[in-house]
Amino acid sequence: MAPSTGDLQLTSAGAGDEYSDNLEEVRLLDSYDKNDVVEDGTKRIQVRITGMTCAACSNSVEAALKSVNGVTDASVALLQNKADVVFNPSLVKDEDIKNAIEDAGFEAEILQESGAAAHGGAGVVVGQFTIGGMTCAACVNSVEGILRGLNGVKRAVVALATSLGEVEYDPSVISKDDIVAAIEDAGFEGSFVQSNGQDQIVLRVGGVYSLGDARVLEAMLSGIKGVKQFRFDSVLNELDVVFDPQVISSRSLVDRIELGSNGKFKLHVRNPYSRMASKDGSETSTMFRLFISSLFLSIPLFFMGVICPHIPLIYSLLLWRCGPFLMGDWLKWALVSVIQFVVGKRFYKAAGRALRNGSTNMDVLVALGTTASYIYSVCALLYGALTGFWSPTYFETSAMLITFVLLGKYLECLAKGKTSDAIKKLVALTPATALLVVKDKGGRTIEEREIDSLLVQPGDTLKVLPGTKIPADGIVTWGSSYVNESMVTGESIPVSKEVNASVIGGTINLHGVLHIQATKVGSDTVLSQIISLVETAQMSKAPIQKFADYVASIFVPTVVILALLTLLCWYIAGALGAYPEEWLPENGNHFVFALMFSISVVVIACPCALGLATPTAVMVATGVGANNGVLIKGGDSLERAQMVKYVIFDKTGTLTQGKATVTAAKAFTGMDLGEFLTLVASAEASSEHPLAKAILQYARHFHFFDESSPTTGTKNDAEEDFKSGWLYDVSDFSALPGRGVQCFIDGKRILVGNRKLLEENSINISKEVENFVVELEESAKTGILVAYDYVLIGVLGIADPLKREASVVIEGLWKMGVIPVMVTGDNWRTARAVAKEVGIQDVRAEVMPAGKADVVRSFQKDGSIVAMVGDGINDSPALAAADVGMAIGAGTDVAIEAANYVLMRDNLEDVITAIDLSKKTFFRIRLNYVFAMAYNVIAIPVAAGVLFPLLGIKLPPWVAGACMALSSVSVVCSSLLLRRYRKPRLTTILEIVVN
């Protein structure tokens, strides 16, 4: 909104010019944008593209990008209006990519990296604005063109689905009020939104009822140290504040205002995520209004053509001549003109935009078909007035066509809105408020007060009551309870939370009262990372979509040619007398007869169904996966997973529980067992390996019979054990990956590890020791050999229990036609014993961490699709090498880069869920393509009149338009059926009958 008397600009007296209008460093979509340098030296950026209306458009943009020298990969997402581009920055610059897209006839804008640092140099800020009144891509283009033409604006991006605009500009040249005024001058509604920068906040203020109240607020803000600049909008009751976070925090700022006003002013932080989630209804409501307008104007046309001829009085009025035409003709012309050029204006604008850009889309077909019908009808009227020969008019064809297309668009908007329901549900998980526990310096609680959850800061102590949502990620500092994490991790069983347990924001506390210390807030929380990951996945393009892109690129020109051929064939056939005159409409001629078939061909063809087949299914699938704790990083990952032939499992922590325990210990040189364990524990105390933790815990229990204080394997535990005096001092400790550890105790070398470690150091392994180790390994235990002063002194047997679902999941994979493989760094006997227990036939043992990637590649040599399941840490090379990398048991670490799938739970059943969801999704995509192709292959010949000579079947243009509108709706609804997806039951996969 432009400045008016309803706005009061409030700036503190000490605020310098450098802070003027510096309220707009904001990027609502920051969490979803990627702009980074890939490891191989290439750079990845995202580009916002406007003007794309169908798959043909996205296909032409992608081709333009890939033709640029230096671009190694490019993917264009039609639904999200974005392109993901990987390129060599030494050969091509960001601006070259932008120019390539614009040369293809579309508007492009580089989406900058999140954070103020990426927004350009000093003085360049990013503002966010709501833009109301946009109804189509043409509107988006119009607004963006106006904004980019403003002096001082560096870039502008407008999102139709959210009715939001993002503008990067120089505040010393142009202010945000100028930008709002430009939006309103273009015929749209505009207003500034808010900032997500740490030093900016937008607050909704209650209690300001007059100019006097506003001046009181001004005086309070001017007296608060750290406030740089502020502005109050009295119409929206919103306060924009820029402050110095080193001097005052956002919560302190709110507190000062509320306390300073004695509670008169109530302030609430504006939540940009909730605002985004609530914007989907704008396009739907617009389409509904257009459809209703067209319907109400079309109803009189229907009555005049069908009902009125049976009502003599009204019919006589319609036949009354008024000037050159009948009254009925005047009414039809007037009503249809409104429908054609007012209600249907959006089709002309979109079609004109597409043609100017050198592309074609569905709007071109609609505009072409309806205009042909309208112009012919007008010409028929004028010809009749001049010659007295009155041909039939087809005004109602144009009106009904537009009405049915708008109905289809409205239903399509409804359906497409539901594809993003998963994101909306995730956004809605964040509670509105949090209960802050205020403590004194001694740690005693002073008070508890309710604050806005967006004002929570790291380190805050929050009280979480039973039945309420946890407001932020944190650590439990007091209390115990059970927490329902199903909405985030997919784990249906409530999780017990004790002191020092971690909790996830957005989950529900079920029973007891908890005090938590916030550790992550805002975009750093698990919930925000999940939303970002799902958004990124929904933007990606599955390889199968290339087929639709190719078809769409030639679809509209092909349809126009077919329509012209239809017109010529029927017209020439009629002129040659190939069909009887009785087929012609009353007072009609061969041209009119042929024209109706031609218009039907134009309007019945639907490229939209093809373009929506893949992205809608991928959007729904990624949302469903997130609800089940399976995070999918893109459509390409989905497509590969459904073709998986091999699934390679890491053993430790994947097939096993990762909770190693010592089950046997034996000394072989006459050394006392206690002395032996003390030597081993001393050597392992400096290691952080899980086996070291198990050995240290076993030795402590042996000496002190104490199970109450297990170690965590940290350096602090080791220091405590050394201080207690029962461990020996060690020197020159070193960990040997894949073999064990070595150090010196009393100047003598001690080795703790596997056979390979001892063999490398030429230490003899007696037959007695070998037999004992073999016995351990054949019982699926790991033998740890210990040598002291170059003499083997003993052996430890360590067992890591299998996960209870491991064997059933492996059998389930066999039933699904997937071959399971196990790879481990453990010895062959232990590996074979574990594999035999779970049902795996192919085993690779004694593989170093770096060698696991080579194992993956060996299975890929014949072109097989290979999945790797690991913990995402030491398995990262193998996860990255696999066609489908699955990081299991990620918990709160959802940003594992090497994995294509992130399985939130530590449950192997989710591996089957991931593969099954992929298979179900691509079955649905193929079904969508079959339907879309079959529709066009069958509908176009019928519309062209192929069946008319034999069966008398003829589709009027308005019926053809209805069919076209419903085809894309049907495809979207087909994709929505994926929302009913349920995890496969293992009993079903294994064909077990449960009584």
Positions marked active-site: 650
Beta bridge partners of 792: 787
Q: Which residues contact 586 (CB under 8 A, 6 or more apart)?
A: 392
Query: What are the structure tokens assigned to 553, written together?
Result: 């690129």
3-class secondary structure per residue, 95-116: HHHHHHHHHCCCEEEEECCCCH
Beta bridge partners of 433: 452
Distance of CA 370 to the CA centre of its chain: 38
Least Cα distance to 791 among 774, 809, 766, 819 occurs for 766
Q: Which residues contact 742 (CB under 8 A, 6 or more apart)?
A: 683, 732, 733, 734, 736, 749, 750, 751, 752, 753, 757
- Token look-up 């209690």 returns 207
Strands, E, within 141-226: which ranges? 153-159, 164-169, 189-192, 200-206
Other Cβ atoms closer than 10 A to 668: 17
DSSP 211-254: HHHHHHHHHHHHTSTTEEEEEEETTTTEEEEEE-TTT--HHHHH
CA distance 367 to 369: 6
DSSP 365-419: HHHHHHHHHHHHHHHHHHHHHHHS--PPP-HHHHHHHHHHHHHHHHHHHHHHHHH
Distance of CA 6 to the CA centre of its chain: 39
Amino acid at residue number 865:
I
Least Cα distance to 696 among 737, 725, 662 occurs for 662
Contact 646, 843 (CB under 8 A): no
Other Cβ atoms closer than 10 A to 667: 18
Least Cα distance to 945 among 607, 589, 571 occurs for 571
Other Cβ atoms closer than 10 A to 449: 12
Query: What are the structure tokens assigned to 841, written together?
Result: 């036939």
Determine phi and psi for 888, rounding to 5 degrees: -100, 145
Beta 884-888 vs 865-870: how paired, if at all? parallel
Least Cα distance to 153 among 112, 124, 189 occurs for 124
3-class secondary structure per residue, 245-265: CCCCCHHHHHHHHHHHCCCCC
CA distance 976 to 970: 10
Angle 421-428/526-539 helices, nearest 10 degrees?
170
Contact 221, 15 (CB under 8 A): no
Other Cβ atoms closer than 10 A to 708: 5
Least Cα distance to 134 among 151, 147, 152 occurs for 147
Query: What are the structure tokens assigned to 775, written together?
Result: 């016995």
CA distance 843 to 181: 69
CA distance 44 to 791: 56
Q: Which residues contact 49 (CB under 8 A, 6 or more apart)?
A: 61, 76, 81, 82, 83, 101, 106, 107, 108
CA torsion, ordered 663, 666, 672, 677, to nearest 10 deg? -50
Contact 972, 613 (CB under 8 A): no
